């Protein structure tokens, strides 16, 4: 699909300048964007749904060039600042406040997925648009996980992360591969700028969130050769909803236990010889997703808002909290899962930064890996992704706290799928 | 202690000793070798671009041997220490330096001191060890409250500060621009 000339011109400088300001993406030493020449597969995926007042053209102006010269979708606000129209979805925190943006440039959504199309063309991994979620924080006070060292240090980091974390569909029930962009720079010299497809846990299954133990096998993953990764995807299922959301008259629903998602990643960037160059373990949490796994539902997807209206034969039902508020204690009927009134829309999220380790003392700083972060070489190869890793060996391994827990990314028109 | 630093320290000590022997002290009441032992409180910290600025408070002390080299000036060596232990972690500073004491008013009790040497801060447990050694400067002041020809009580304050050392945690380098810092105050007994 050729690019319209106006988009082509705009994309030479990251985000569309007329919308977000020319300074937002014109200096990028990490991704080294060049003028976009063709659209990536992730570009142009979104089309307006019921209630969305923006057009596809208004949406696609929010684009950024990737390191491969292709044009990618990137962060935009849920409401178009020019026209005031509503996109109906959000991508998290506005990255223009991150101190890292000046050096890494706007985040191209889907670049690792795009490279996989070259690296392993028979096993692509394509993700939707609305699942790309950005979070960042400047000057994060980090922990040093050492009793002998911790009182002496004040390690601080800037972090800018993006995970494709769709919490509205059945995708993550089976698919453990999701695009992760991870930028971190700390005052102790720790620095890495990583783009990869992270494999979270075991493909084809998830772990039941309300007991943090039961592995629920669902079906074949996409791609079929998805690697098994560290960590796990904690996702609620019907059992969680029955136990914690539909309750008797003596207590209120515990939505935190019923519907909490936690995607716990463990990521490694490895050289061709298998040596780990860098590793990091951010956890991504969503307290009110718009889905849960229901093996009895069409498409295996249950909707929390539907459960607000359900009464079990024994009288158990949703009581108090979000259900009571949105339905006015059952008086407001007919709110559907994709209604902007539904509180189950995934707009509250938080990221546990956790540990960061680098073992790259001999360099180089620039590595090219396959889309899964493996087979790192100093030179580019077909399907490779450029990674920047500080040429150091971290001794303090700064460990970060939770960021974003007090933020709310909802707004007018924002609704599931989000 | 690295070999070059040890060599430099030895050379400096020899120079100070030679200077002292070359002088003929006047009868100012400070002839002969004086030993000083002090104990007090101190606050120590590592210094680097990402080090906490707050020190750890604990017991500290000083030990010095000096002799007069000319009226109002004494030279010798000084050791400063600091010790902190809690929750199975022992933290310590040990710094040594040739020092010169200046008595601005000649026969008065007030003195200033300065010197350059080396120091090391260590923090260790059964499993881990953090440390840095660095060239350090020592500076301070005190006042001799003499109650006899042999003895004096000396309230003092002293600062040891160093930088440019390699800081390591369990053998892994944290930074090559590490340093340490120790501020202490206390009361010393001086006798000769």
Q: Do A154 and B51 touch (CB under 8 A)?
A: yes
pLDDT of residue B15: 45
> What are the distances in angstroms from CA A166 to CA A210, A218, A233, A277, B168?
19, 17, 12, 29, 43
> Average pLDDT over chain B, rounded to whole?
88
For chain B, the domains span 3-22+32-191
| B170 has a chain A CB within 8 A of its CB | yes
* Residue A123: both structure tokens together: 């096993």
Q: Which residues pair with A198 in a beta bridge?
A: A178
Does the model's pTM come out above 0.80? yes
Task: Give how far B58 is from chain A: nearest CA, Å.
Answer: 14
For residue B87, the chain A residue with the least C-alpha distance is A147
Q: How confident is the model at residue A21 (pLDDT cuts 50, 70, 90)?
A: very low
- Say if residue B5's pLDDT is above 80: no
Instruction: Decide: A148 and B88 in contact? Cβ < 8 Å.
Output: no
- Say if residue B7's pLDDT is above 70: no
| B55 has a chain A CB within 8 A of its CB | no
Q: How confident is the model at residue A371 (pLDDT cuts 50, 70, 90)?
A: very high
B residues 5..44 contacting A (CB < 8 A): none
> In this complex, which of A148, A153, A393 lies closest to B50 when CB atoms are compared?
A153
Q: Give the burial class of B92: count Cβ atoms within 10 A of its Cβ; 0-12 exposed, 13-18 middle, 19 or more buried.
A: middle
How many of the other CB atoms lie within 10 Å of CB of A147? 17
> In this complex, which of B45, B53, B169 lies closest to A149 when CB atoms are compared?
B169
Question: Quick one: average pLDDT of B17-21?
Answer: 42
pLDDT of residue B31: 67
pLDDT of residue A35: 66
Q: Which residues, at least 6 apart from B146, have a Cβ–Cβ distance to it below 8 Å?
A: B109, B152
Q: Do A148 and B173 touch (CB under 8 A)?
A: no
Distance between CA atoms of residues B102 and A251, nearest Å: 78
- Say if residue B25's pLDDT is above 60: no
Q: How confident is the model at residue B192 (pLDDT cuts 50, 70, 90)?
A: confident
Question: Quick one: average pLDDT of A51-55?
Answer: 97
Q: If you write DSSP's letter for every residue of A251-270 in order, what string do you get?
A: S---HHHHH-EEEE--EEEE
Which CATH number applies to B3-22+32-191? 2.40.160.20
**Which residues of A touch chain B, with CB atoms under 8 Å apart?**
146-149, 151-156, 186-189, 393-396
ipTM surpasses 0.90: no
> Average pLDDT over chain A, rounded to whole?
92
Task: Give how far A94 is from chain B: nearest CA, Å.
Answer: 28
For residue B128, the chain A residue with the least C-alpha distance is A148
Q: Tell me: the pLDDT tens digits for A162-220?
A: 999 999 999 999 999 999 999 999 999 999 999 999 999 999 999 999 999 999 999 99
Task: Give how far B179 is from chain A: nearest CA, Å.
Answer: 11
Question: Quick one: average pLDDT of B15-39?
Answer: 61
> In this complex, which of B53, B125, B173 lies closest to A148 when CB atoms are compared?
B125
Distance between CA atoms of residues A202 and A23, nearest Å: 41
Q: Tell me: the pLDDT tens digits for A231-279?
A: 999 999 999 999 999 999 999 999 999 999 999 999 999 999 999 999 9
pLDDT of residue B142: 98
Distance between CA atoms of residues B82 and B91, nearest Å: 8
Q: Tell me: the pLDDT tens digits for B59-111?
A: 999 999 999 999 999 999 999 999 999 999 999 999 999 999 999 998 889 99
For residue B76, which of B38, B102, B106 has the smallest C-alpha distance? B102
> What are the distances in angstroms from CA A203 to CA A35, A173, B39?
36, 9, 64
């Amino acid at each position: 699909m050729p690019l319209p000339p106006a988009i082509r011109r705009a994309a030479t400088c990251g985000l569309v300048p007329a919308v977000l300001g020319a300074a937002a993406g014109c200096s990028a030493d990490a991704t080294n964007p060049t003028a976009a020449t063709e659209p990536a597969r992730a570009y142009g995926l979104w089309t307006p749904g019921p209630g969305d007042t923006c057009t596809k053209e208004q949406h696609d102006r929010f684009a950024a060039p990737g390191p491969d010269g292709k044009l990618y979708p990137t962060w935009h606000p849920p409401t178009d600042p020019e026209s005031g129209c509503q996109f109906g979805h959000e991508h998290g925190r506005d990255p223009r406040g991150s101190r890292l943006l000046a050096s890494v440039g706007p985040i191209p959504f889907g670049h690792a997925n795009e490279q996989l199309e070259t690296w392993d063309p028979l096993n692509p991994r394509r993700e939707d648009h609305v699942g790309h979620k950005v979070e960042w924080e400047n000057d994060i006070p980090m922990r040093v996980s050492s009793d002998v060292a911790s009182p002496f240090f004040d390690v601080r980091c800037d972090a800018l992360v993006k995970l494709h974390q769709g919490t509205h569909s059945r995708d993550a029930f089976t698919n453990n591969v999701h695009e992760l962009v991870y930028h971190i720079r700390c005052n102790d010299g720790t620095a890495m700028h990583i783009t990869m497809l992270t494999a979270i846990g075991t493909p084809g299954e998830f772990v039941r969130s309300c007991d943090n133990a039961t592995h629920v096998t669902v079906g074949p993953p996409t791609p079929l050769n998805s690697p098994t990764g560290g960590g796990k995807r904690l996702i609620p299922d019907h059992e969680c909803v029955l136990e914690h959301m539909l309750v008797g008259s003596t207590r209120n629903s515990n939505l935190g236990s019923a519907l909490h998602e936690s995607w716990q990643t463990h990521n490694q960037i490895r050289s061709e010889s298998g040596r780990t160059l860098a590793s990091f373990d951010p956890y991504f949490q969503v307290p009110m997703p718009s889905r849960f796994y229901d093996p009895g539902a069409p498409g295996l997807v249950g909707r929390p808002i539907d459960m607000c209206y359900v009464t079990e034969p024994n009288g158990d039902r949703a009581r108090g909290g979000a259900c009571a508020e949105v339905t006015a204690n059952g008086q407001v009927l007919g709110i559907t899962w994709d209604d902007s009134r539904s509180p189950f829309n995934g707009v509250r999220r938080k990221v546990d930064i956790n540990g960061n380790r680098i073992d790259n003392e001999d360099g180089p700083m620039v590595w090219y890996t396959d889309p899964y972060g493996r087979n790192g070489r100093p030179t580019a190869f077909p399907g490779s992704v450029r990674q920047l890793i500080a040429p150091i060996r971290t001794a303090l391994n700064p460990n970060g706290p939770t960021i974003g827990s007090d933020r709310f990314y909802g707004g007018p028109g924002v609704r599931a799928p989000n | 202690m690295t070999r070059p630093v040890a060599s430099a320290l030895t050379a400096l000590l020899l120079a100070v000793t030679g200077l002292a022997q070359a002088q003929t002290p006047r009868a100012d009441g400070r002839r002969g070798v004086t030993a000083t032992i002090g104990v007090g409180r101190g606050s120590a910290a590592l210094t680097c671009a990402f080090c906490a600025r707050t020190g750890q408070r604990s017991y500290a002390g000083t030990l010095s041997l000096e002799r007069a080299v000319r009226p109002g000036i004494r030279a010798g060596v000084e050791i400063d220490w600091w010790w902190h232990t809690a929750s199975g972690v022992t933290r310590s500073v040990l710094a040594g330096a040739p020092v010169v004491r200046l008595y601005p008013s000649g026969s008065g009790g007030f003195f200033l001191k300065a010197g350059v040497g080396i120091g090391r801060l260590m923090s260790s447990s059964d499993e881990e060890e953090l440390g840095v050694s660095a060239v350090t400067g020592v500076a301070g002041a005190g006042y001799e409250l003499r109650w006899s020809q042999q003895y004096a009580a000396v309230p003092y304050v002293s600062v040891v500060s160093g930088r440019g050392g390699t800081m390591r945690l369990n053998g892994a380098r944290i930074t090559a621009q590490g340093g340490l810092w120790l501020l202490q105050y206390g009361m010393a007994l001086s006798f000769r």
